[in-house]
Amino acid sequence: MDVAYANGTAEILLDSILDVMSTEAFSKDKAAYIVGGEKKLLRLIEAGEIDSDKPSNSQNGKWRCNAAQVLRHCRCMRKKKYKRKRKS
């Protein structure tokens, strides 16, 4: 579903999506899935590229990560097409 947009429309749409998502938050597990793993998520948080907080100080408290910043660092999730091997 590749669509070519003229006059920078794709960039405008992406900016609009990120503006809307800037007020939303993802959990730690969902954010780790989107960026490509927990280690990468923690590395991005330590580098200051993703804002996160843990409102409760309990051990099992829920993390909140800024959704727009997580989406800026998402990994390529396209499914790879594999050729089927024939039996000889």
Strands 25-26 and 64-66, bridge-based pairing: antiparallel
Tokens coding 10: 């794709």
**Could you report the per-residue pLDDT of 58-80, keeping only the tens digit for each?**
888 889 999 999 999 998 877 76
| Residue ranges of domains in the chain | 14-53+61-72
Strand, coil or helix: 43: helix
- State the Cα–Cα distance between residues 73 and 68, nearest whole angstrom: 9
Q: What region, left, alpha or beta, does residue 18 occupy, with left being phi > 0 and alpha being psi -120 to 50 degrees?
A: alpha
Predicted model pTM? 0.74
pLDDT of residue 5: 65
Residue 26's DSSP bridge partners are: 65
